[in-house]
Amino acid sequence: MEYGNALAGPSILKVSQKFHPFWEARVEINGTWQKAETTQVNGVFLGVHVPAAATRVQLQFHPYLRWLELVVGCGVSFGWCTWLHR
C-alpha cells in the first residue's frame, strides 16, 4: 500500500488495517526512502509515525518471519526428539 500526503508537522497516519508487528513502513523524504516506526492506534489499528517532510508512505506486510519461526521451531523439536530417543 502507498499513500501520498502533505503535512504541516509530524503526525501519525492511521490505517483501517489491524495492527500486526510484521507490517513495515517507509516514508519518502526528499526522494529518499527511510524506515518509519509502526504503532498500534486505538488498541487495534495500524499507525505510522510520519515526519513533516515526508511526501509518501509505503506499507508492506512480511509474514515470511512466521515461516522462519516455524522452520526453526520444527528443527529444534526434531533435534530434541532425536537426542531423547538415542
C-alpha cell at 26: 517507509
* pTM, two decimal places: 0.68
Terminal CA-CA length for the chain: 51
pLDDT at 81 over 80: no
pLDDT at 80: 64
Number of domains comprising the chain: 1
Query: How do residues 3-51 score in pLDDT, each as one tens digit?
Result: 776 777 899 999 999 998 889 999 999 999 999 999 999 999 999 999 9
Q: For the sheet with 11-18, list strands across it.
A: 11-18, 45-50, 38-41
Return left, alpha or beta for 32; rule: phi > 0 is left, psi -120 to 50 is alpha, else beta: beta
Instruction: Give the integer Cα–Cα distance in Å for 66 and 83.
Output: 26
Q: What CATH number is associated with residue 25?
A: 2.60.40
pLDDT at 78 over 70: no
Range of the domain at 17: 2-84
